[in-house]
Amino acid sequence: MMFIARTAALVVAAMTIYGAALPAAAPARADDKGDANTTITDERLNAFVAAAKEVFAVRQKYRPQFEAAATDGDKQKIVVAARDEMKKAVENHGLTIEQYNAVLTAARTDQKLAEKLEKLLSLDSPAKGG
């Protein structure tokens, strides 16, 4: 049960690209083909953590704009802008969207990986809250 709570916290902290970006965002369509069952290197984990922090920052940046948008069209424009910025953040850390989402998917089923990611995400966080 503690594992489920930790994984949920990890999901909130990391945010899948396209999936939880903003309320109107469509689910990610990563073609993982079993990547969740392969070993994820420390290098990829570190890239994921750096990218996840930027993805979360982008989400925080666009959320007020999304909530204040007057029309569905305005909201869609904000979602597209946020997705583009998140994609760039992930790619700037040497990952594809599929690789990024594969790490998150793997963490949902691998308790040790989830704990490692949780530790890495919390170690580098300047402050909690927010």
Instruction: Dump pLDDT digits (tens) for 106-130.
Output: 998 999 999 898 888 887 555 444 3
Q: What is the mean pLDDT of the chain?
A: 76
Q: Which residue segment(s) compose the domain that 80 sits in? A: 2-18+46-123
In a domain, 27, yes or no: no
In a domain, 38, yes or no: no
In a domain, 109, yes or no: yes
In a domain, 36, yes or no: no
Burial class (CB in 10 A: 0-12, 13-18, 19+), 111: middle
Q: Could you write out the three-class secondary structure of 69-116?
A: CCCHHHHHHHHHHHHHHHHHHHHCCCCCHHHHHHHHHHHHHCHHHHHH
In a domain, 24, yes or no: no
In a domain, 6, yes or no: yes
Number of domains in the chain: 1
pLDDT by residue (tens digit) across 82-111? 999 999 999 999 999 999 999 989 998 999
User: Is residue 95 within 8 Å of 87, Cβ to Cβ?
Assistant: no
70 vs 20, 22, 75, CA distance in Å?
21, 15, 8
In a domain, 94, yes or no: yes
In a domain, 31, yes or no: no
Whether 14 shows a pLDDT value over 80: the answer reads: no
